[in-house]
Chain A
Amino acid sequence: MRSERTTLIAWAFLAPALLYVLAIVAWPLVQTVILSFTDASLRKTTDWVGSANYEKIFNATFATVIVRTFIWTFFSVALKMIIGTCGAVLLNAAVPGRHLFRILIMPPWIVPMAIGIFMWGWMYNGQFGMISGLLQRFGIVDGPVAWLAYGNTAFWATIVTDVWIGVPLVTIYFLAAIQAIPKDLYEAAWTDGAGRWYRFRRITLPMMVPAIITMSMLSLIATFNSFDIIWILTQGGPNGATTTMIIDTYHTAIGSRKYGEGAARAVVICIFLSLFSLAYFRVTRRLQPEAAK
């Protein structure tokens, strides 16, 4: 009797947040799927077109975009994990100044994302930017390199900026994981004469594996959704070299106002994201008993 009443009250307390998210996230998600089967555009009337949108978008160009998105995401996530691990190990070292260092890594993550990206845009400038300028100074390149003007360099430049934004969170998360490793393990290894590198390889790294797996899954989802960086730096150019699925969807939907076709592209993204999320939940569930030990 009482439990039924409290359940009702609990739902009443939950209702505002729940309804809000249902209206702004869940319902639009359903609508995206519905729209993907229509020819919705700026016109007043909308007709069902069946699977025509899907048939239209599944061609060689779209396949290229999908492959490009996966390559972009893979390198970005991999670099975030590697740099984040190195950073966490460095910041974990018991040296004077480490508290200051831990504060200094945070700005890329905390400041308005777009403004950090503007600064990268200037750094990538061929004529006056820092990267091209310093490389010329040290004689590594002969002339100015406009990083965002060529497909290949723009592709990597956007990855580097994405890594830059992602690294602080990854580092802080890994640092917490390292600090949670029982000190006895290190003491026992040290007593047995194990060196620093050996302790890192045989204790730190294996104990970090759950954290690395969890973080790479979360990072995969966030990176797949990355929009601001590419849009501000290249808008998907030059010549489509940095057009990922998100950028492609935005171009189609907001640039060309083809809502139906854009929705079909968004649905494909959602399918990938759902698969990633499913994998994430399964993996973290399997990792949980280990983490509890």
Chain B
Amino acid sequence: MSTTESATDGPPPDVTAAAEEAPMPAARQATKPSRADTTALIDRYAWHELLAIYAGVFVFLFFLLAPFIEGFLVSLKPLSQLFSSPYRFIPENASFAAYVTMWESVPGFARFIFNSIFISSVATIIVLLVVVPAAYAFARFDFKGAGLVLGGFLAVNMFSGAVLIIPLFRLMRSLGILNTYAAMIVPGVAFLIPSAIWLLRTYMIRIPKELHEAAYMDGAGYLYTLRRVILPIAMPGIIVVAITTFIGAYAQQFIFALTFNSKTEFMPLPVGLFAFFGKQEVVWNELMAASFVGIAPALIVIFFLQRYLVGGLTAGAVKQ
């Protein structure tokens, strides 16, 4: 697009008509549209611009959603059609049969889903228990070293579990919790704490200091103030932190579960399915169906809570 085309997204004819002879920029100044009008005018697109935008959005979304589309279509295809050539994008004789049969052919599938939810839930509870007082401390008190500790928590995000896998493995072994739920929960929690603290802190800072002081003047202890005054007010923030922590815990179950647990009955869904992907005769349509059932909770959450999620998930990643 060049500057010459700017006329197409310029003011509507009736506005410019008043100053027809004047050059375009002057004409715009002369009419002095109100602020809202200007914004509306800037955002007006010519048909070819609209076409380009929608085409771009389509390509962008296709890249991001293609694996899900493909996975879903595969889950609908009968096995015989899956392995036939030439390749067909749209399934013939589509059926949801795989969604029924998978419960039998992926033994322990229900158990994997339960494990995933259980591990994420326990991790979320532990995170909340340690993060609520910590965020309160950062929001309520000005103490020496606060900035340093806050930065230190952020630095945790710099290291992944993979870098620390050796000492963590030895730690799990010496604690005697290898091949238990705890081996997957304990290390995971540490990597969820920093983001949760940063996010909850931003909520708690907004609570007026007078509230703390009023409670303090009335002779309430800090613990009492936290429990009876702060917690109820901060509840919406705590719920957001809980949801983002749960999603984070659910999304990242892989390396610890892969390394610290070898018992099938404790495996979370990603590792449980991974074990089947490695086998010779993979029943792809059933595995794709299983994957879809596994990600369904996350997809549902996105649609209902996306506004909170965006703020929540970016909070830990970016200093605010």
Contact = CB atoms under 8 A, between A and B. Distances in A.
Given A10-B141, A21-B153, A187-B39, A107 B2 contact: no
Contact of A95 (B45, B70, B294): B45
Nearest to B4: A195
A262 B50 CA distance: 54
B291 A115 contact: yes
A198 interface: yes
A94 to B, nearest CB: 4
A153 interface: no
B109 interface: no
Interface in B181-219: 186-187, 189-191, 193-194, 197
A86 B68 CA distance: 22
Contacts of B41: 190
Given A7-B143, A112-B294, A277-B158, A187 B42 contact: yes
Contacts of A132: 87
Contact of A9 (B54, B61, B64, B141): B141
A186 B299 contact: no
B313 interface: yes
Interface in A1-25: 3, 6-7, 9-11, 13-14, 16-18, 20-21, 23-25
B189 A193 contact: no
A25 B190 contact: yes
B310 interface: yes
B68 A6 contact: no
Contacts of B232: none
Interface in A158-212: 164, 167-169, 172-173, 176, 183, 186-187, 190-198
Contact of B314 (A164, A173, A228, A231): A173
A195 B166 contact: no
B91 interface: no
B295 interface: yes
Most chain A beta carbons < 10 A, residue from B45, B70, B138, B288: B70
Contact of B302 (A9, A107, A167, A246): A107
A177 B129 CA distance: 33
A196 to B, nearest CB: 5
B170 interface: yes
B163 A113 contact: no
A246 B25 contact: no
Given A193-B3, A273-B163, A104 B42 contact: no
Contact of B166 (A6, A93, A194, A263): A263
Contacts of A83: 60, 63
Q: What is the interface residue range for chain A against chain B?
A: 35 or more
Nearest to A285: B319
A93 B131 CA distance: 38
A238 to B, nearest CB: 16
Given A21-B190, A195-B1, A114 B271 contact: yes
B163 A193 contact: no
A103 B190 contact: no
B277 A121 contact: yes
Given A20-B130, A32-B164, A119-B291, 15 more contacts: A13-B136, A17-B153, A107-B65, A111-B251, A112-B251, A122-B74, A128-B82, A133-B87, A169-B317, A187-B35, A193-B6, A196-B9, A246-B163, A249-B163, A273-B159
Interface of B: 1-6, 9, 24-25, 28-29, 35, 38-39, 41-43, 45, 49-50, 53-54, 56-57, 60-61, 63-68, 70-71, 74, 82-83, 85-89, 116, 129-131, 133-134, 136-138, 140-141, 143-144, 146, 149, 151-153, 155-171, 186-187, 189-191, 193-194, 197, 222, 226, 247, 250-255, 258-259, 269-271, 273-274, 277, 284, 287-288, 291, 294-295, 298-299, 301-303, 306, 309-310, 313-314, 317-319
5 contacts: A21-B190, A25-B156, A101-B57, A134-B87, A164-B64
